[in-house]
Amino acid sequence: MNPNKYYIWQADLLRAVAVIAVFLNHWDGHVNGNFLPKGYLGVDVFFVISGFVIAYSLSRSTHSSISQLVPDFLCRRLHRLLPALLFYVIPVSLLTTIARPYPDVYLFTGISSLLGLSNIYLSSISSNYFSDSSSLNPFLHTWSLGIEEQFYVILLLLFSLKFVRFGPRSSAILNTPLSLLLFVGSIFILHNCIYR
């Protein structure tokens, strides 16, 4: 399957806006904090766009079995994410071991980011994203990548159900309940974001 067959240029445009908002929010936090106070919501926008693009790609998949779908999907994700992540994690880990006397937390965050688990690791050590000590962790920002990778796996499992339960020709039976589940889940998350 051609990876660009379902390319949506508008998604890249929205991604750029989300990344700029997050960048300005971080920059503003170091200046005065008044320019873009809700810029961190760019991360949420980025999550929604990525979720839509991945779900759209999986829904248009022409694979006829799990043995075709899963390896193809995982290879495409690894091909897209891993080179840039390795390019960042390896040299920054080396520099961190030189610059920091006790780099354990930073290095474990870097290693867990390669496995898509940095958000879980940071949560397990009760790391507050906005604390001064966290701001020194060069891999802190990989928490969002961990969430995305975990979401990809969950979405892949949901789309794989059409082969396990119903067979390859009856994906329409699954699409309606799946769409309903995603819609209700989205409303629940939106409610929590507004009223928490």
Q: Tell me the per-residue pLDDT of 50-61, one tens digit each, with 9 for 90 and over.
A: 888 888 888 888
127: left (phi over 0), alpha (psi -120 to 50) or beta: beta
Q: What is the pLDDT of residue 60?
A: 82
Q: What is the pLDDT of residue 113?
A: 93
Q: Which amino acid is at 186?
A: S
CB-based contacts of 165, cutoff 8 Å, min separation 6: 174
Q: Span 110-139, mean pLDDT?
A: 81
Q: Which tops the pLDDT comparison, 145 or 35?
A: 145
Segment 128-184, tens digit of pLDDT: 666 656 677 889 889 889 988 988 888 888 878 776 654 455 555 455 566 666 677
Q: What is the pLDDT of residue 144?
A: 87
Segment 53-89, tens digit of pLDDT: 888 888 888 888 888 888 898 898 899 899 999 999 9
d(Cα 29, Cα 34) in Å, to the nearest integer? 8
Say if residue 92's pLDDT is above 90. Answer: yes
Q: What is the pLDDT of residue 5?
A: 63
Say if residue 33's pLDDT is above 80. Answer: no
Please work out, in degrees rounded to the nearest 5, the angle formed at the alpha carbon of residue 42 by the alpha carbons of 52 and 74: 40
Q: Tell me which of 16-25, 43-52, 177-186 is least confident.
A: 177-186
d(Cα 168, Cα 9) in Å, to the nearest integer? 30
d(Cα 165, Cα 176) in Å, to the nearest integer? 15
φ/ψ of 140, rounded to 5, equals -60, -40
Mean pLDDT (the chain) is 79
